[in-house]
Amino acid sequence: MRKGVKTTITYIAWYLILIFFFILCVEPVVWMVFGSFKDRAEFYANIWGPPKVYHFENYVKAWNNAGLGRKILNSIFVTFFALLISIPVNSCAAYVLARMRFKYAKLIYFYLLTGIMIPSGIMAIPTFSVALRINLVNSLFGLVLIFAAQSIAMGMFIMRSFFISLPKGLEEAALIDGCTRFKCFTHIILPLTKPGIMTQVIFSGLTIWNEYLLSSIMIRSENLQTIPLGLASFVGKYTVNYPELFAALVIVTVPVIIIYILAQKSFIEGLSAGAIKG
């Protein structure tokens, strides 16, 4: 009986904490959506409440003014391919650095690791001049390569720590069966590090999706602009068109949230079915 009371109290405490965080995190979304339907007068006069009149045209205007269609495609392109290059590349390196002994392994590891200590944003000008020399300025492909390179260090570190946590016996059996090292890596080890890959997709993906400074220097023509550059068009010298900016933000944020909801099932829950045993 006493134990039952104790559990109930714990549950209530848990729910209170959860509800607190729920409000803290969902309220901004609600506010953003409300704001995106207001006109400018109401945005200032009625800051926190729901809109009195819903201005759906904000969305149409936002879409057209920022040229969102094109920019969303560009952003998807850049993010997807940067990850598509970076994740396999850093996983390969991380795997051998975690599981094999070879000359210079430590050196290579620390060399790549220094990358997480370089603030990529403020390296914008030097990066630009390097990109200029190899003709990658004003091309989405250039952005893809640079972003891929920038996420190698962090990705390698994340993947390596996941590889290290896997038991050693895992690939030994397969190696004895005549499996090549590489096949063993792609077929046995890699599937077990799904959370590592997802961590990268979330972390590096969001970083690339929101990157502004470097893109603003690298991209020199309008049809190659990415979403963050498009959002700048709501900001005038003295005023910001918040209702339209919020409408644009809803358009670009909601898909990211939906992707997360879809992905979290396979990412978090699919894991417990995995064969990781200590």
Partner 1 sequence: MAGKKVLAVVLLVVISSVLFFPGCSKSKEEKPLVRILGPTKGTAEETEAWAKVMRDFEAETGIRVEARWQGNWPDLPQNLSAAKMAKEQVDLIVAGAGTLRSSLVRSGAIMNITELMKDLVDRFNEGMLDAFIIDGKLWGFPYADASASVFYYNKTLFDELGIKPPKNYQEFLKISKIIKEKKGIQPVIFQGKENWAWPMLFFETYEQTSGNTSVAKVEEFLSGKRRFSTEIEKEAFLLVKKLFDDGIFTLDSLDTDSEGMRAVFSQQKAAMFYGGTWEYGAVKDVVKDFEIGVFEFPLMVNTPGVKPGHGFGVGDYGIAIPSFAKEENLENTMRFVEYLLRPEVVNTILSINDPMVQVIKGMQVADTPIVQTLNNEVLKNSVLFLDWIWPAEVNDAFCRCIPAVVSGNMTPGEAVKIVEESLKTIEEEKDYKFDWWTSWTEEDWAKVTPKRVPDIKRYMK
Partner 2 sequence: MKDLLKKKEKAFPYLMCLPALLLFTLFITLPFINGLWISFHRWDGFSPMKWIGLKNYRFVLTDEIFWKAISNTFIYAFFVTLIKNIIGLGLAIILAKKIRFRTAFRTAVYMPVTFSYVVVGILWVWILNPNFGLLNHFLRALGLDFLIRGWLSEPRYALASVIGVDIWKWIGFHMVLYLAGIQAIPKQLYEAAEIDGASAWQRFCHVTIPQLNSTIIVNVLLSITGAFVANYDIVKMMTDGGPFHSTEVSLTYIVSTAFRYSSVGKANAMSMILFLLVLVFGLLQLKIMTREDVYE
Whichever of 219 and 252 has its CB closer to partner 2, that residue is 252
Rounded least distance, CB 138 to partner 1, Å: 8
Classify 67 in phi/psi space as left (phi over 0), alpha (psi -120 to 50) or beta: left
Q: Which residues lie closer than 8 Å to 99 by C-beta, 6 or more apart?
A: 163, 171, 189
Rounded least distance, CB 238 to partner 2, Å: 15
256 binds partner 1 (CB under 8 A): no
189 contact, one of partner 2, partner 1, none, CB 5-8 Å limit per kind: none
Whichever of 224 and 252 has its CB closer to partner 2, that residue is 252
The one segment of 106-114, 149-157, 179-187, 220-228 that binds partner 1 by CB under 8 A: 220-228
64 binds partner 1 (CB under 8 A): yes
63 contact, one of partner 2, partner 1, none, CB 5-8 Å limit per kind: none
Rounded least distance, CB 194 to partner 1, Å: 15
Name the maximum alpha-carbon separation found in the chain.
Answer: 75
**Among 173, 240, 254, 258, contact with partner 1 (rule: CB under 8 A):** 240
Residue 244 near residue 62, CB atoms below 8 Å: yes
Rounded least distance, CB 84 to partner 2, Å: 13
85 binds partner 1 (CB under 8 A): no
232 binds partner 1 (CB under 8 A): yes
86 binds partner 1 (CB under 8 A): no
Q: Which residues lie closer than 8 Å to 211 by C-beta, 6 or more apart?
A: 147, 226, 228
Rounded least distance, CB 175 to partner 2, Å: 11
210 binds partner 1 (CB under 8 A): no
**Among 95, 162, 234, 246, contact with partner 1 (rule: CB under 8 A):** 234
Residues 98-127 contacting partner 1, CB under 8 A: 124-125
- Residues forming contacts to partner 1 in the complex (CB under 8 A) are 40-41, 43-45, 47, 61, 64-65, 70, 73-74, 76-77, 80, 124-125, 128-129, 132, 137-138, 140, 216-217, 219-225, 229, 232-242, 262
